[in-house]
Amino acid sequence: MNIDDIRNRATTEINGAISLDELKEIRLKYLGRKKGEITLLLKSLKALSDEDKRKFGPQLQEMRENIEQALVFKKRELSEEEDWADVTLPGKRPEPGHLNLITQTETEIRRIFNSMNFSVIDGPEMEDEYHNFDALNIPAWHPAREMWDTFWIKTPDSAKKKYLLRTHTSPVQIRYMETHKPPFQIISPGKTFRYEATDSTHETNFYQLEGLMVGKDISLAHLKFVISEFFRQFFSNKNVKVRLRSSYFPFVEPGVEIDIKLDDSDWLEVAGAGMVHPKVFKYAGYNPKEWQGFAFGFGLERLIMVKYGISDIRLFNSGDLKFIKKF
């Protein structure tokens, strides 16, 4: 019984095969269930003495496995080649990624405010207590601090200076005023963080968009115009109504809540705003007798949810492809 001879013959034939059909023939010739050369050899083992069975059995099995393997490899190789062979077959379309809806919307909002001569400013996501709270007229003892559930950050010098993940984009107002002279108008979109339970309208990690305009004789009328123009463009809708409702935020006086109304739907609260508080101007190093300004802050996801009819804020971070591919 010349096992090596069969192995060599079979392997040479397999390697030389140029089509899947030919490979099938070779498989049949050696491993066919009825007349395969190796199959017959394995069957003939039965007639041998126990001693010969022990000798040839394992060698034959091993050879059979080698041939099986060689067939599998060659089949893979030939299948790939045959796939390539017909270049007129329709291709598999690669699936490119795309920008997340939040990024798309942010870009659109930047464009709208740019058209009204606002600049776009960045600020740090890790803030210090001073910029996130104190300079916005929210000292440590102020009950309003409870409006912002805060992620505090432990640092080696926490006792001297406290850091946190910014709870709103308002600290960018302070940072910008510290280094720039009025008049100016800016927006600052970015991530914000709150230590609170999540549900369909609350996330621990969400986006805000801050706005600030400072100059001579700036009034709530300017705020109302800028905001109305923004919403008109954002919703591509001449019928969007805007109303200012009296409210309270420590860093503005008077403070307002901005509501919008689209066509036949109800009034929706979408932003906080107001006239920059004199104390905030003082913290920033401005003379409040000389300058006036308005500020506003939107929740970005909220605006997107209203625009696209999305009912759960948690979808934005879910990685749910059905949701992502829709936009």
210 binds ligand DAH (CB under 6 A): yes
Q: Toward ligand DAH, which CB reaches closer, 203 or 210?
A: 210
Q: How many residues bind ligand DAH (CB under 6 A)?
A: 11
Q: Whole-number minimum distance, CB 294 to ligand DAH, in Å?
A: 7
Separation CA 318–CA 324 (nearest Å): 9
Q: Whole-number minimum distance, CB 123 to ligand DAH, in Å?
A: 13
Q: Whole-number minimum distance, CB 128 to ligand DAH, in Å?
A: 16
Separation CA 152–CA 158 (nearest Å): 10
Question: Residue 51 in contact with residue 110, Cβ under 8 Å?
Answer: no
Q: Toward ligand DAH, which CB reaches closer, 36 or 293?
A: 293
Backbone angles phi, psi at 156, to 5 degrees: -55, -30
Nearest Cα to Cα of residue 192 among 154, 231, 164: 164
- Quote the tokens at residue 292: 């006036």
295 binds ligand DAH (CB under 6 A): yes
Is 173 annotated in the active site?
no
Nearest Cα to Cα of residue 208 among 293, 150, 148, 271: 271
Contact window for ligand DAH (CB under 6 A) among 78-86, 179-187, 233-241, 271-279: 271-279
Q: Whole-number minimum distance, CB 210 to ligand DAH, in Å?
A: 6
How many C-beta atoms lie closer than 10 Å to residue 205's C-beta? 14
Separation CA 316–CA 310 (nearest Å): 10
118 binds ligand DAH (CB under 6 A): no
Separation CA 135–CA 137 (nearest Å): 5
Q: Toward ligand DAH, which CB reaches closer, 30 or 207?
A: 207
Is 168 annotated in the active site?
yes
Q: Toward ligand DAH, which CB reaches closer, 7 or 175?
A: 175
Q: Toward ligand DAH, which CB reaches closer, 105 or 208?
A: 208
Is 214 annotated in the active site?
no
The single residue among 135, 174, 244, 252 that binds ligand DAH, judged by CB under 6 A, is 252
Residue with tokens 């910029």: 131
Rule CB under 6 A: which of 19-78 touch ligand DAH?
none
286 binds ligand DAH (CB under 6 A): no
How many C-beta atoms lie closer than 10 Å to residue 191's C-beta? 14
Nearest Cα to Cα of residue 163 among 174, 149, 153: 153
Q: At what angle do helices 3-16 and 37-44 cross, to 10 degrees?
A: 160
Residue numbers annotated as active site: 148, 168, 194, 208, 252, 295
Q: Which residues bind ligand DAH (CB under 6 A)?
A: 168, 170, 210, 249, 252, 272-274, 295-297
